[in-house]
Amino acid sequence: MSVDIAKSLTELEKLGASLYGRDFLLTWEKSDAELKSVFIIAELLKELHAGNIPLDMFRTGLAVSNFRDNSTRTRFSFASACNLLGLAVQDLDEGKSQIAHGETVRETANMISFLTEAVGIRDDMFIGKGHTYMKEVAEALDDGYKNGVLNQRPAVVNLQCDLDHPTQTMADMLFIKNHFGGFEKLKGRKIAMTWAYSPSYGKPLSVPQGVIALMTRYGMNVELAYPEGYDLLPETIKVAGDNAKKSGGSFKVSNSMETAFRDADIVYPKSWAPYRVMERRTQLLEKADTAGLKELEKECLAQNAGHMDWICDEKKMALTKNGEGLYLHCLPADIKDVSCKNGEVAAGVFEKYRIGTYKEAGYKPFVIAAMITACTKKNPAKVIGELFKAGRKRVL
């Protein structure tokens, strides 16, 4: 869908939602208007970038990238988003910093932020730790700004924690919205967020948790399906249920991939580890219990192997609405006979939807840039409008 720039700027201005001076950590902490403002900004930035218009709203400044887990899409999306806005990106390598010598979170947060406008953090592997760490960084920045240590208070952006993956799920939502022709076209549509087999263990829960928490806000009928024992965190299940009641949609939990796929407009088959396993893993990592971790991995891989039939193949896709349900994935997918012997999705299914999943991922840099813009600019519509009216070209 093309974006009417003038209309979108007017809508953003009238919306009156302000995230200025705040962070973006969990979607369910934000109001509908605040989420809508980020979506509008993201689509404006994407449209203007496609129109060769520069969006360097920061003349100077740093964006700190703190990845405590491996990443491809999100790491490069954060870097490109910050560069788009005119910020230089600096990775925080904790092993090469004074953190290795016992420097506190409070001190590190301030020392990296003297000329910093945004801090992006991924901390997704430790249940009860990732979101807590992000809040600790945010509190340290509040303290530094309040006491005159920092000239500006950087915005903290959640690039995936143990609870949520907002940059991913909001990119998913923009792809869905444009595929079906608008947010108003989503009410009543069914989305199946299901577990799928993977030959690895320990994958975070934040994507399925983020999906069920966000999609239920738009009147969609969300069905979460997983084998017995692969539960998500109870608090996120509650968020999804509450959101569905408010939006007029529905939220259901089942233990059947086939039931979830039946008549689904959208399917999102993705592997994750049971939250009880992730709790045990966190405890073993804290104790540096190598033997215990190896035993846990062996146990979990054996458990996964009992559910190889949880695969998104042509037979299951035929159960979707008119046999043409939309396939989504946060990537990288475990593709049967391509990236692994057995995995989340059949090669033929993935290839059919491959370009779509790439486009889905392509919204993420603009979502991240929109979050930074919304959290650091008092009037994003005015800032973006002035860049549009300037008539400059990004590439001559």
Q: What CATH number is associated with residue 14?
A: 3.40.50.1370
Q: Which residues pair with 119 in a beta bridge?
A: 64, 156
On whether both 201 and 341 belong to a single domain, the answer is: yes
Instruction: Report pLDDT for 101.
Output: 66
Q: What are the backbone dihedrals phi and psi of residue 144, each rounded to the nearest 5 degrees, phi first?
A: -65, -40
How is residue 310 written in tokens?
Answer: 């949880």
On whether both 241 and 321 belong to a single domain, the answer is: yes
Instruction: Report pLDDT for 5.
Output: 97
The reply to whether 269 falls in a domain is yes
DSSP string, 351-371: HHHHHHHHHHHHTHHHHHHHH
On whether both 108 and 174 belong to a single domain, the answer is: no
Instruction: Report pLDDT for 324.
Output: 97
On whether both 98 and 33 belong to a single domain, the answer is: yes
On whether both 133 and 214 belong to a single domain, the answer is: no
On whether both 371 and 298 belong to a single domain, the answer is: no
Instruction: Report pLDDT for 201.
Output: 84
CA atoms within 13 A of residue 334's CA, in its CB half-sphere: 20
On whether both 319 and 331 belong to a single domain, the answer is: yes
On whether both 111 and 64 belong to a single domain, the answer is: yes
Instruction: Report pLDDT for 100.
Output: 64
Instruction: Report pLDDT for 94.
Output: 80
Nearest Cα residue to 126 out of 167, 163, 72: 163
Instruction: Report pLDDT for 253.
Output: 98
Tell me which residue range forms the domain holding 344: 168-361
On whether both 101 and 28 belong to a single domain, the answer is: yes
Task: State how many domains the chain has.
Answer: 2
On whether both 177 and 297 belong to a single domain, the answer is: yes
* In the chain, alpha helices (H): 5-15, 32-50, 73-84, 105-111, 130-146, 166-180, 206-215, 234-247, 257-261, 275-286, 290-305, 314-317, 347-362, 364-376, 380-390
How is residue 178 written in tokens?
Answer: 């444009």
Instruction: Report pLDDT for 193.
Output: 99
As averages over each run of 10 residues, the pLDDT of the chain (396 residues) reads 91 96 98 98 98 96 94 95 98 78 89 97 92 97 98 98 98 98 97 97 93 98 97 97 98 98 98 90 88 92 95 98 98 97 98 98 98 98 97 88
Instruction: Report pLDDT for 391.
Output: 86
On whether both 352 and 384 belong to a single domain, the answer is: no
The reply to whether 175 falls in a domain is yes
Instruction: Report pLDDT for 1.
Output: 62
The reply to whether 336 falls in a domain is yes
The reply to whether 277 falls in a domain is yes
Instruction: Report pLDDT for 4.
Output: 95
The span from the CA of 41 to the CA of 9, in Å, is: 8
The reply to whether 188 falls in a domain is yes
From its phi and psi, is residue 270 left (phi > 0), alpha (psi between -120 and 50) or beta? beta
The reply to whether 396 falls in a domain is no
On whether both 111 and 256 belong to a single domain, the answer is: no
Give, as one character, the DSSP assignment of residue 224: E
The reply to whether 122 falls in a domain is yes
